[in-house]
Chain A
Amino acid sequence: MMKQQAIRFDGVGIDFALAKGNVYQALAPVDLAVADHEFVAIVGPTGCGKSTLLNVAAGLMRPSSGAVSVFGRPLSGRNAEAGYLFQQDALMPWKSALDNVAVGLLAAGMPRDDARARATDWLARVGLAAFAERYPHLLSGGQRKRVALAQVLIRDPKILLMDEPFGPLDAQTRVIMGDLLLDLWAADRKAVLFVTHDLDEAIALADRVVVLSAGPAARVVGDFPIPLERPREIADIRDNAGFHALHREIWRTLRLEVQQAYAQGAA
Chain B
Amino acid sequence: MNRPLIVVLQVAVLLGGLLAWHLAVTTGIIGSPKQLQFFFSTPQQVLLRTWTDLAGSRLWGHIGVTLTETLLSFLIGSLGGIGMGFWFARKPTMAAVFDIYIKALNALPRVVLAPIFALWFGLGIWSKVALGFTLVFFIVFFNVYQGVREVSPVILANARMLGLGERQLVRHVYWPAALSWMFSSLHTSVGFALVGAVVGEYLGASAGLGYKIHEAEGVFDVTGVFSGMLILMMVVIAIDFLVGLAERRLLHWRPKVATE
Contact = CB atoms under 8 A, between A and B. Distances in A.
Contact of A137 (B154, B160, B253): B253
B157 A90 contact: yes
Nearest to B251: A94
Interface string B148-176: 00001011011111111100100011001
A11 B157 CA distance: 25
A116 to B, nearest CB: 14
Interface string A64-106: 0000000000000011101110101111111110000001101
Nearest to B176: A94
Interface string A145-166: 0000001100100000000000
A19 to B, nearest CB: 21
A103 B157 contact: no
A151 B158 CA distance: 10
B163 A155 contact: yes
A145 B1 CA distance: 35
Interface residues of A, number: 29
Contacts of A103: 159, 162, 164, 172
B255 interface: yes
Contacts of B252: 135
Interface string B170-197: 0011001100100000000000000000
Nearest to B155: A90
A233 B136 CA distance: 59
Contact of B163 (A95, A108, A138): A108
Contacts of A83: 161-162
A88 B158 CA distance: 10
A107 B155 contact: no
B91 interface: no
A6 interface: no
A94 B168 contact: no
A60 B158 contact: no
B249 interface: no
B252 to A, nearest CB: 8
Interface string A104-126: 10111000000000000000000
B103 interface: no
Contact of A60 (B157, B172, B173, B253): B157
B258 to A, nearest CB: 13
B58 interface: no
A137 B255 contact: yes
B157 A94 contact: no
B246 to A, nearest CB: 16
B224 to A, nearest CB: 48
Contacts of A84: 157-158, 161
Contacts of B163: 80, 104, 107-108, 155
A92 B164 CA distance: 13
A58 interface: yes
A96 B162 CA distance: 16
B3 interface: no
B162 A86 contact: no
A107 B161 contact: no
Which of A86, A92, A138, A152 has the most chain B CB atoms inside 10 A of its CB? A92
B161 A92 contact: no
Interface string A48-72: 0000000000101000000000000
**B154, B162, B163, B180 — most chain A CB neighbours (10 Å):** B162
A86 B253 contact: no
Name the residue among A60, A79, A89, A107 with the largest chain B CB count within 10 angstroms.
Answer: A107
B162 A94 contact: no
A96 B164 CA distance: 18
B160 A90 contact: no
Contacts of B172: 92, 95, 103, 106-107
24 contacts: A58-B161, A60-B160, A60-B161, A79-B161, A84-B158, A86-B158, A88-B154, A91-B155, A92-B155, A92-B172, A93-B253, A93-B254, A94-B177, A94-B180, A94-B253, A103-B159, A103-B162, A103-B164, A104-B162, A106-B168, A106-B172, A135-B252, A135-B254, A137-B255
Interface of A: 58, 60, 78-80, 82-84, 86, 88-96, 103-104, 106-108, 135, 137-138, 151-152, 155
Interface of B: 152, 154-155, 157-165, 168, 172-173, 176-177, 180, 252-255
Given A90-B158, A96-B253, 16 more contacts: A58-B161, A78-B160, A89-B154, A90-B152, A90-B155, A92-B173, A94-B177, A95-B253, A103-B159, A103-B162, A103-B172, A107-B165, A135-B252, A138-B255, A151-B162, A155-B163
